[in-house]
C-alpha cells in the first residue's frame, strides 16, 4: 500500500467493526482488519475481540510482540486513521509511550542493581555472622 493510496478511516467507522464478523483495531494510527486472524491469534480470539473497534496500541505493546508478529500484521492493514482523529488518539498513545519508556529504563537498571545489592548485603551479613560466631570466647 503506497502512501498516496492509503485509505483513511474515521474513529466512528472503526468503532462499528467490533464483532467477530468484522473486527478492526488501531495500532500506531494504522487500521487493521483482524477478522480472518481471530482464530489464528496465539493469545486467543477473545484478546482481539476485546480491542475490536478501538485503539489497541497500549494493549499490543504491553504484550511485547515479536518482530515476526509485527511483520505479519502488515498483511492485515486496511488503512490509517484520518488526520483529524489522530489528534484524539494522540493523548492515548503519548500516555502509553511516556509511561512505557520510563519503566523500561528503570526496570533495566533495577533488574541487575537490586539483586547485586542484595547479594552484597547478604554476603557481608554472613561474613559478619561467621566472624562473630567463630571468635574465641573471652570466658576463659
Instruction: Give the tens place of pLDDT for each residue, 71-84.
Output: 999 999 999 999 88
Task: Return the domain boundaries, the chain.
Answer: 1-134
pTM for this entry = 0.62
- The CATH number of 1-134 is 3.10.120.10
Instruction: Give the tens place of pLDDT for each residue, 2-12.
Output: 455 789 999 99
> Where does 1-140 show beta strands of DSSP type E?
8-9, 18-19, 22-27, 30-33, 54-55, 77-81
Report mean pLDDT in 10-residue bins for the chain, 140 residues.
Answer: 75 94 94 94 90 91 87 94 83 50 51 79 86 65
Q: Read off the C-alpha cell for 116.
A: 547485586
Amino acid at each position: 500500500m503506497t502512501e498516496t493510496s492509503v485509505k483513511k478511516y474515521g474513529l466512528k467507522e472503526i468503532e462499528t467493526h467490533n464483532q467477530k464478523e468484522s473486527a478492526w483495531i488501531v495500532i500506531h494510527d494504522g487500521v487493521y482488519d483482524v477478522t480472518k486472524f481471530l482464530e489464528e491469534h496465539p493469545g486467543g480470539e477473545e484478546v482481539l475481540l476485546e480491542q475490536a473497534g478501538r485503539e489497541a496500541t497500549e494493549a499490543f505493546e504491553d504484550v511485547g510482540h515479536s518482530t515476526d508478529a509485527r511483520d505479519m500484521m502488515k498483511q492485515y492493514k486496511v488503512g490509517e486513521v484520518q488526520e483529524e482523529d489522530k489528534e484524539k488518539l494522540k493523548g492515548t498513545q503519548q500516555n502509553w509511550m511516556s509511561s512505557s519508556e520510563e519503566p523500561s529504563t528503570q526496570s533495566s537498571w533495577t533488574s541487575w542493581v537490586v539483586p547485586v545489592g542484595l547479594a552484597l548485603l547478604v554476603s557481608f551479613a554472613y561474613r559478619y555472622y561467621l566472624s562473630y560466631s567463630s571468635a574465641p570466647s573471652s570466658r576463659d
